[in-house]
Amino acid sequence: MPVPWASRRHLVETLMAAKQYPEAKALLQEWLGQQPQDSQMWHQLGRVCAETGETQSAMRHFEQAIALDPDDADSRYWIGGIQQKLGYIDAAEAAYTEAARIRPMIRHRAIRTAPDFRLLVLYAPFSGNTPIEYLFKEASYDIDTLAFFGPREPDIAALGDFDVVLNLMSDADQDEAMLPAAMSLAEKLGKPVLNDPGKIQRTTRDAMAELLADIAGCRMPRILRLDAGTDVSAAALAELLPFAFPVLARPAGTHGGGDFEKLESFEDLAGFLAQRPGADHYVTEYVDYASGDGHFRKYRFIFVGEQILPYHLAIGNGWKVHHLSTDMAHQPWMQQEEAAFLADPAAVFNAAHFQALRAIRERIGLDYFGIDCGLDPDGHLLVFEVNASMLVHDDITDFPYKDPFVRAIKAAFGAMLQSRAGRRG
């Protein structure tokens, strides 16, 4: 007697959750040998190949699933995601659009047969979103993701029933066109909403600098926003800039170290801004935060509800510090210092610093977000960045000591969703 597909799917999901991808792949290939017309198996095989980096194979399997079932929206969403990662934006948009026509939402089922609750997620595929892949992994709740492609508000009647809403649109610059529609939809749904789109709208870098400017024990460097079309000649900048050189500059809506530079003069700044005349830019006051040993230390905390949880410490030799670009994977002393920080943040940040962090949480009002910070020469909490776009992941092979702290963030996130959905832990 053939094994029902529901049981097979559950077995494959269990193997994938345990990262036993070869075993899952072998089972699916064996079953497809018996039932080659089963579109759901082709879809699952595509997912396994996507997880293992076999991109072209994944694409072929998803396309086979669609050939067998033209109404397979899930496979089209996966194709859109793969094409987007490969940089083929037109192809990605076409796949997403067709998938949304068939079914407005991307569905991810819980790992258990009776899900704890149903989560509706608001997401903008081609803009800035909270990186959520790790936090959603092995979820015990159903997840339906509603994609926003522009300012048009989706049809509320197509959404069905759910328990709680999570907005993933996290970049107030990149998501500017979509956030008003998401905010309007969230207000109409009448359900608990985490990371309310209206609050995300107020998290631009310059708005954050103004909002946090007067918190005791906290230093947020001043930020000047220059809209596209502003006269950015050296002479004009001399009239506009409210603080001294050196300064940091970057295009609005960008993160990480690319297109982010330290500049020493009006001429240098004018040259940097002139490279992207159609973009808005942020110019930030530079604060030298080198420690006594000459290294630069950048700490990250993740705010989950009322909790302030340590995520990492990045130690670099220059002012532009990102964990991946440091030499921490090869420096035991750096790893030992990071491990000590994660185990006891209070050994680095005192009571006044934590009071400032709590004040930041209250003023921003988001349910889930992160902060990159350090300590200035006077011992104040120095804030580099505060937003809901910060990455939390479990790819920590070189830093196994991070595992319990990463898991703590994931557990707190799941508990927060469960509580807001009105379910007991």
Residue 290 counted as domain residue: no
Q: Are residues 300 and 281 in the same domain?
A: no
Of the residues 285, 313, 339, which one is the last residue of a structural domain? 285
Same domain, 303 and 381: yes
Residue 410 has pLDDT above 60, yes or no: yes
- Answer whether residue 21 is part of any domain: yes
Q: Which domain holds residue 401?
A: 296-420
Q: The tokens 């050296």 sit on which residue?
A: 234
| Paired strand residues for 219 | 382
Question: Tokens 């905010």 — which residue?
Answer: 183
* Structure confidence by residue, pLDDT tens digits, 132-154: 999 998 899 999 999 887 777 77
Query: What is the tens place of the pLDDT at every residue in 81-98?
Result: 899 889 898 999 899 888
Q: What CATH number is given to the structural domain containing 302?
A: 3.30.470
Say if residue 424's pLDDT is above 60.
Answer: no
- The CATH number linked to 238 is 3.30.1490.20
Question: What's the rounded Cα separation, in Å, for the pair 121 and 1?
Answer: 39
Is there a contact between 147 and 100 (Cβ–Cβ < 8 Å)? yes
Domain membership flag for residue 377: yes
Strand, helix or coil at 396? coil
- 305 and 279 in a single domain? The answer is no
Number of H helices, E strands in the chain: 15, 14
For 19-70, the pLDDT digits (tens) are 888 988 998 998 888 889 999 999 999 999 998 999 999 999 999 999 999 9
Residues 311, 183 within the same domain = no
Residue 194 and residue 170: Cα distance in Å, rounded? 12
3-state helix, strand, coil in the chain (%, to 5): 45, 20, 40
Asked whether residue 373 is domain-assigned, the answer is yes
Q: Is the pLDDT of residue 1 over 50?
A: no
Same domain, 356 and 303: yes
Flag whether 208 is in a domain: no
Q: Would you say residue 78 lies in a domain?
A: yes
Asked whether residue 367 falls in the same domain as residue 311, the answer is: yes
pLDDT value of position 200: 97
Asked if residue 36 and residue 158 are part of one domain, the reply reads yes
Q: Is residue 317 part of a domain?
A: yes
Rounded distance between C-alpha atoms, residue 231 and residue 237, angstroms: 8
Count CA within 13 A, CB hemisphere, residue 86.
Answer: 17
Least confident range of 10-19, 221-230, 234-243: 10-19
Mean of pLDDT values over 302-327: 95
Tokens of 336: 């030992």
Reported as a single tens digit per residue, the pLDDT across 334-372 is 999 999 999 999 999 999 999 999 999 999 999 999 999
Provide the domain count of the chain. Answer: 3
Q: Give the pLDDT confidence score for residue 4 in this predicted structure.
A: 64
**Per-residue confidence at 14, pLDDT binned at 50, 70, 90?**
confident
In a domain, 59, yes or no: yes
